[in-house]
Amino acid sequence: MAHAPRLRRSHQGHPHLTQGKPMQLGMIGLGKMGANMAQRLLNGGHKVTGFDPAADARKKLESNGGGSADSLKALVQALPAPRVVWLMVPSGKVTDDTVDALLALLEKGDTMIDGGNSNYKDSLGHAAKCAGHGINYVDCGTSGGVWGLAEGYSMMVGGDEKVVDGLKPIFETLAPAKDQGWGRVGPVGSGHYTKMVHNGIEYGMMQAYAEGFSILKHKQEFGLDLHQVGEIWRYGSVVRSWLLDLTTDALGKNPNMDGIAPYVVDSGEGRWTVDAALELNVSAPVITLSLMERFRSRDNDSFADKLLSSMRNEFGGHAIKKE
């Protein structure tokens, strides 16, 4: 019987209460991540007012002790100056549009935190725009997914040192522990850059686990129980990790991955990591190939594989398997 993964995090349970005076901030975007982060902040004693286009998301935050606003303008008006707003919206155009809209509403001395998966180059552009209005900009690469509410979030923060220092109570509450799982890694742009590479590494780790378990599964004469193997590896093994915990749990729930299509999407951060490696002339074959494998998973009618089969027939007379 499958069990919930035993997470290897430094802190579990409720977030610690904030030290000193609680902060008040606006959370823009109340999806899975934004809503959970807002709730963790509320649990830690902060005051959170949220905005999301979906009325149900706003109502849920209200029912959990937070405030809500039905527009960005109303959100800004509800916050005391100097204001702090945290963006948890999709990267790209949505983030661009939200930043531009906020620039017309915020005032000098306010702070904007982008906790989404923005490209670090976009973040540098956003920071420059904010600076022109006297608004502080902080980019925060955020990891933790659906487990963040209970376990805390890993946060890689980029921005002016004094500005980040003033936001410490927020980061300390969201993190797994006050002094663990978060930190200012450098100037503006460095937070999202570090998170980008983090996700690239994640691609490689996921691919290695997937390939290894696939090799085990194909050794049919041994009848290996992949869930059992994962459980063994979780303790004492050099390959143990939280990702292995989650993988093992998935194998316990669905050993043959029944009903799951062999189609793997990507958020874009793996691509950006490979782009950065090329720009810097850094060899990153594992991350690059793991990204290529995701692309390959989406090709249901591979012309390349058909051509390879045809080549073998042409030069060696090897049989071609017909559809």
What residues are annotated to the active site?
Answer: 195, 202
| C-alpha to C-alpha distance for 9 and 243, rounded to whole angstroms | 11
Q: Which residues of 180-200 are buried (b: 16+ CB within 10 A; e: fewer)?
A: ebbbbbeebbbbbbbbbbebb
Cβ atoms of 33 and 267 within 8 Å: the answer is no
Q: Calculate ∠ Cα 112-114-119, nearest 5°.
A: 135
DSSP class per residue in 144-173:
-GGGHHHH--EEEEES-HHHHHHTHHHHHH
Find, among 30, 40, 12, 11, the residue nearest to 149 by Cα.
40
Cβ atoms of 66 and 15 within 8 Å: the answer is no
In one-letter notation, the amino acid at residue 141 is: G
Residue 63, H or E segment: helix 55-63
| C-alpha to C-alpha distance for 188 and 126, rounded to whole angstroms | 10
Q: What is the SS3 assignment for 49?
A: strand
Token pair 């902040």: residue: 41
Neighbours of 305 (CB within 10 A): 11
| C-alpha to C-alpha distance for 86 and 34, rounded to whole angstroms | 9
CA atoms within 13 A on the CB side of 97: 7
Q: 293 CB contacts (<8 Å, ≥6 apart)?
A: 207, 264
- Count how many residues are written for the chain: 323
Find, among 177, 182, 93, the residue nearest to 140 by Cα.
182
| C-alpha to C-alpha distance for 195 and 308, rounded to whole angstroms | 38
